[in-house]
């Protein structure tokens, strides 16, 4: 009897410090949904839709970006299927346009509407690219001389296109946004960014 | 103090104007800011954020609103009118409202219930724009936070709803959403990272959270005004390409609860000077 009371107390205590679990997973999920519905009450329906997670966002949140293998494989398969290619098969655009897109963080914020310019890729927020640009972030790896280091190989060009279009097709639950799959950048813009990273003339490789 | 402030402002403008010297300038800005922070320890009165503390105190004591009463009977958790130390224990559960509130949500409650102001009007424009005087809510929040200066965050987790808010905040911190797939943890889950040249605190790590959470509300040199924690979180969600979050919402309060718990034992230094 004593032991069972102790066990119950222990279980209770543990469940209280265990965070989300103390309500049970379902109860907690409901709490989160309710809190979100009740915290963005003044936005238009199309904006509120941004708060609804797709399956990949849901599982990446659940596993805190460290999904078990089975879940990771499912993400890769699902995200790979989203990648669309240009009809003519040319994956490299204009690196000069790509340079401007890499600098621009414009787009998608509620202060960016109605749009005054095209969405940017905001690459420099997280990556080092052109060595002359000293204002670069470090959330992502340095991409300086990325193309040069890979001898501008055809397969690498496709890999960069895929990586920008949907990085989760390669790295499930990675931090980088799915710029193409989420329709934040167009196919043309992605081609320009591929050229910025992979063209021998681009300052990224010089 | 003035010349130093100017140096910081010039360094910031310079940094915006000329990418080639950005990094060196940014380091210089950080150094000047640190010098300024050190100087404030010796001469606390040179902190421009104190103007908002003063104004907040005036607003706290002034009879206002349809009921023509002051906020001096407002219960911030330690009993009506007791401001000292209240901020260090916020957010907390309030029985009268039957919800967990942070300092800003509680101030709105008191302004509405005690003074009789219309809630919608109070929260219509809670944040000041650059180079404007702080809003009334900003001044009041800065005043209340300052009255816990030197104390350490000591969040209570006695009420079920306080524990629920903590669990909710933790989940929200890792919740990915929106067209960029961002969560708070996208930027704040590792040490020594930057966006462009802006350093990012690793808020999942108590040592780093303790250094920064107690700085808010903060006086931002680049904006020339104070910024509250509600505003800080709303700005993060704006960058995450999400809609404008409601002032004093359950989401912002829960995130604050999570972050204050991460920063437990960290010293409150509000209003601190920030870029």
Are B138 and B128 contacting, i.e. CB atoms less than 8 angstroms apart?
yes
A-chain CB neighbours of B172 within 8 Å are 32, 35
- pLDDT of res. B182: 98
Per residue in B219-232, pLDDT (tens digit) is 998 889 999 999 99
B246 touching chain A per CB within 8 A:
yes
Structure tokens at A96: 């000069």
Q: Does B19 touch chain A (CB under 8 A)?
A: yes
Predicted pLDDT of residue B268: 97
Chain B residue at shortest CA distance from A53 = B177
The count of C-alpha atoms lying within 13 angstroms of the C-alpha of B272, restricted to the half-sphere facing its C-beta, is: 20
- Measuring CA to CA, how many Å separate A165 from each of A13, A179, B249? 46, 5, 35
If one counts every other C-beta atom within 10 angstroms of the C-beta of residue B113, the result is 14
Nearest to B167 among A19, A133, A139 (CB): A19
Question: Could you tell me whether strands B218-220 and B272-274 are parallel, antiparallel, or unpaired per DSSP bridges?
Answer: parallel
Q: How far apart are CA A63 and CA A73, in angstroms?
A: 14
**Strand intervals (E) in chain A:** none
Q: Which residues of chain A have pLDDT under 50?
A: 1-21
Contact yes or no for B180 and A48 at CB 8 A: no
Give the nearest chain A residue to B236 (CA atoms). A109
**Any idea what the Cα angle at residue B181 is, between residues B179 and B183, rounded to 5°?**
125
Whether the CB-CB separation of B273 and B49 falls below 8 Å is answered with yes
Q: Which residue of A has its CA nearest to B254?
A: A35
Q: Is the Cβ–Cβ distance between A180 and A79 less than 8 Å? A: no
CB atoms within 10 A of CB B25: 23
Q: Give B192's strand partners.
A: none
Task: Please give the structure tokens belonging to residue B52.
Answer: 């908002």
Q: How far apart are the first and last CA of chain B?
A: 16
Say which DSSP state B128 is in: P
Average pLDDT, chain B: 90
The pTM of the full predicted model, rounded to 2 decimals, is 0.89
pLDDT digit string, tens, across residues B58-94: 999 999 999 999 999 999 999 999 999 999 999 999 9
Handedness of CA B178, B179, B181, B183 (dihedral sign): negative
Task: Tell me what pLDDT residue B18 has.
Answer: 47
Partner residue facing A16 (CB), from B163, B186, B245: B163
CB A180 within 8 Å of CB A164: yes
């Amino acid at each position: 009897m004593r032991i069972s009371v102790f066990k119950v107390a222990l279980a209770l205590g543990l469940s209280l410090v265990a965070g989300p679990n103390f309500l049970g997973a379902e109860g907690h999920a409901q709490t989160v949904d309710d809190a979100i519905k009740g915290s963005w009450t003044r936005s238009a329906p199309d904006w509120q839709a941004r708060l609804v997670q797709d399956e990949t966002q849901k599982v990446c949140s659940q596993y805190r970006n460290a999904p078990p293998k089975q879940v990771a494989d499912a993400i890769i398969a699902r995200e790979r299927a989203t990648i669309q290619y240009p009809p003519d098969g040319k994956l490299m655009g204009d690196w000069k346009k790509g340079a401007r897109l890499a600098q621009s963080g414009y787009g998608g914020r509620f202060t960016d509407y109605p749009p005054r310019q095209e969405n940017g890729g905001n690459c420099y927020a997280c990556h080092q690219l052109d060595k002359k640009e000293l204002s670069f972030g470090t959330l992502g790896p340095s991409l300086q001389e990325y193309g040069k280091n890979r001898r501008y190989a055809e397969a690498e060009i496709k890999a960069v296109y895929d990586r920008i279009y949907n990085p989760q097709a390669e790295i499930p639950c990675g931090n980088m946004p799915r710029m193409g799959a989420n329709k934040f950048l167009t196919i043309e813009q992605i081609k320009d960014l591929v050229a910025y990273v992979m063209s021998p003339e681009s300052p990224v490789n010089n | 103090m003035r010349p130093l402030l100017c140096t910081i402002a010039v360094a910031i403008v310079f940094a915006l104007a000329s990418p080639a010297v950005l990094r060196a300038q940014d380091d210089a800005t950080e150094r000047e800011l640190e010098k300024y922070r050190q100087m404030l320890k010796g001469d606390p009165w040179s902190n421009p954020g104190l103007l908002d503390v003063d104004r907040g105190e005036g607003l706290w004591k002034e009879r206002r609103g349809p009921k023509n009463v002051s906020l001096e009977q407002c219960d911030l958790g330690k009993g009506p009118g007791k401001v000292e130390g209240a901020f260090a224990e916020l957010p907390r559960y309030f029985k009268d409202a039957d919800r967990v509130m942070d300092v800003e949500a509680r101030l709105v409650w008191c302004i509405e219930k005690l003074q009789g102001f219309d809630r919608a009007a109070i929260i219509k424009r809670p944040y000041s724009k650059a180079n404007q005087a702080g809003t009334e809510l900003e001044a009041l929040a800065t005043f209340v936070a300052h009255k816990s200066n030197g104390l350490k965050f000591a969040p209570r987790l006695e009420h079920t709803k306080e524990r629920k808010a903590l669990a909710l905040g933790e989940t929200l911190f890792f919740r990915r959403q929106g067209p960029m797939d961002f969560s708070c943890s996208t930027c704040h889950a590792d040490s020594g990272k930057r966006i462009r040249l802006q350093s990012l605190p690793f808020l999942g790590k108590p040592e780093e959270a303790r250094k920064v959470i107690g700085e808010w509300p903060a006086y931002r040199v680049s904006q020339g005004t104070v910024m509250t924690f509600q505003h800080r979180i709303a700005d993060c969600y704006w960058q995450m390409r999400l809609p404008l979050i409601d002032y004093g919402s359950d989401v912002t309060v829960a995130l604050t609860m999570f972050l204050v718990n991460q920063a437990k034992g960290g010293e409150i230094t509000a209003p601190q000077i920030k870029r």
